[in-house]
Structure formats: structure tokens, C-alpha cells
Chains A and B, each alone.
Chain A
Amino acid sequence: MKVESKIMLGLGCFFGLIAAVYWFWGRDSTGSIMIVGGMLLGFLPGGYYYWWSRRIATRPEDDPTATQAQGAGVVGAFPATSIWPFTLAMGAFFTVLALVFGIWFLVPGLALVIWAAFGGVAESRRGGGV
């Protein structure tokens, strides 16, 4: 986790530096705020990874001498199939059409989104399809 955190924190620091230079040189609030946003996007995950990297043992993937046996076991839960992403995307599609062709498209749009949200959560909870 150390390298990962260093990359993100390093990017955050660099953007911080750029934001400072840009602000004091050009006084342009639009760009400065956007670069500060970039800085935060570096620091937020970077800090999280740093916090964890000090609290966990070296993971097999960070150990240059790890054998494949060290990684044996369950890697994670990977659902084999799921219809909910498609349902959710169709919901988003109808919602976007509502932006163009009329508010009534929101009815199927939001219905599909809500249906997909419940369906997806339920699928994760019962472990079915996973």
C-alpha cells in the first residue's frame, strides 16, 4: 500500500504546488479552485491508503518475494451474472431522455433506477447470483 499512497499523495502535493503558483501568479479563481479540487482528489485516497498502509501487514502483492501460495484462498466475491447493471443503465437512459423529450420519461426512468437499486442491493445481501 505504501507505493499506492505515495503516488496519490505525491500527485496531491504537486497539484497543491501548482495551485499555489497559479493563484499567486495569475489570481484566476476558476483555475485555482479546479486545481485545488485536483489536489484534494490526490490527498483523499492517498491519505486513506497511507492510513491503512501503517496498520496492515505487508500484502502478498507488495512483497517482492511472495510465492503464489501466499495468495491462495478467496480473492473476493465476484458475481457471475447480474441483470441489474443493465436495468440501471436503462433507467439512466430514460432519465436522460427526460432532459430532452419531456418530463414524462422520468416515470420509467426513475422506476427502473429504483428497481435496479433494490434488486442490486438484495442480490448482494443474499449472496445470490454472486
Chain B
Amino acid sequence: MESPALSPQGVTARQRRWRRIRRVAALPLAALALSGCTVPSFGASAGVTRSSRSVFHLWQGFSILAVIIGGLVVALILWSVVRYRRRGDSIPKQSQYHIPLELTYTIVPFLIIFGLFAATMVVENKELANPTTKVTVDVNAFQWGWRFTYPGHNAMVIGQTTQDPEMVIPVNTNVHINLTSSDVVHGFYVHAFNFSRYALPGVLNQFTFRAVQTGTFDGQCTQLCGLYHSLMFFRVKVVTPTQYQTWLASFTTSSASSAASAAQKALQSQSATNVPTRITTSRGAN
């Protein structure tokens, strides 16, 4: 069909068509380049840790490709549906194989896949790296609450169901988490971190993150863990290092009972909703 007939300019029809395709394809790419950092978020958010931002960028990259490929496929389907709807009883050409075309759509996805894999590995290695940390928090999940202890300090926070315990951590500091479970599988998930990890019984799961923004962020158990799974919340409060030291000191300087009441107060400051709460425990360690 496309005979390589030379046009007056000495360019084949195929080349001309290719140029046109390039011009059309260049438009969205140029628009993308011009818009710079205003690449759409595709529903996700950048989060508040260093690696959550890398994950977000990876998400954007995947999404751009998905939109292009998905758009292409949907366009091809819609075109066929409109253009080739039945117009009589004639039998169309019974073409069954087109080896070059088939090879193209085998090889190109391979290349895309390896590109995606390379990007994945870069982000993954960054996210799962284990840099030296000054702050360590032992996180223990149980049915149906969380216990945050700070090794080397006298600080501990426990809370169950809707009385969300609060994990206090300093900003711009690498925080190391030792995640364990006392009973069944739980999921440690903080949406603003773009990250989750299972708390497995019998396994010590470790990871590190670095929050770059202060604030209080919601966390929740994501893996079904029994009756009150839906109510197994916690919060992560990212504070300045000074505030963090003050907070830690509140456990060491005061007596255990006053520490407990401080933590209790912190817990009750969150509005208790109309969902019935079972048990609330909260105390400073020792």
C-alpha cells in the first residue's frame, strides 16, 4: 500500500509521514518539558519524607507512560469501532499475520519494561538504603493497637483502637524503625510517607525514613488483623529536634505517673469519635 514513491522533494512518503509523526509526538513532550515541575500528580501526593518524594516521581513517570500507552490503545480501539463497523455483507480481507508489526509490539514493550525496571531499582535502592541513624523507634503492633518505644530513652507510647497513639519523631533526621508484631500480621502504613510495611510475628522488619516537614500525619493498620482492624490507627508527629528533645525529656524528668498523664492527655486531644472505643491504655515506661 505504501509504495516508496519519491516525492518531488526527494523524500519518500514514508519519511514524510515519519516527520509528521515526530512533529505531533514532540508537542506533548515539549509541553511536558516546558511545564517543568508541574507534571500532574495523577492522584498521588509527594508526601513528607525524602523517599516519599522519589516514590512520587516514580509514580508520575509510570503514570505518564500509562496514559500514553493506554490512550494509544483506547484510541486505536475507538477508531476501529467507529471506522470498521459493519457496512454490508462483504467479507473483509482475511489478513492474519504481519510479522514486522508483531515483532514491533513485542520488542518495544520489552524496552519499556526494562526502562521501568531500571527506574524502579533506583528508587527502591534509595528507599531501602540503611543510612546511619541517630533516632531509633521500636514499633510493636498488636491486636488492635501500637506501642512505640524509644530505645535508650525512657519513653513509650501505647494506644488502642481509636485512641491513636502518637509516634513523635524529629524532622530532617534519619529515623530507624524496628517493626515487630506481637500476634498476627499487621501493616504499618503512613499515607504521607507513601510507604507501608508488614509487621510480621517472629520477624524484625527494619527501615529508615527522613521526614522533611513537620506536622501530624495519619497512620493505620493496612493488613486485616481481626475484629477491630478498621480502628487500628496511629499518628506520626514530626517536630523540630528541640521539641523532640523536650518531649523525650518529659518522660525522663517527671515521674512515671505524670508521664503517663501527659501521654494520656496527648491521646485525648484527638477527638474521640462516636465509634465505641474498647480499651485505652497509655503510660510512660517505668
Instruction: Judge A-B direct contact (beta carbons within 8 Å).
Output: no
Q: Which residues of A line the B interface, CB within 8 A?
A: none
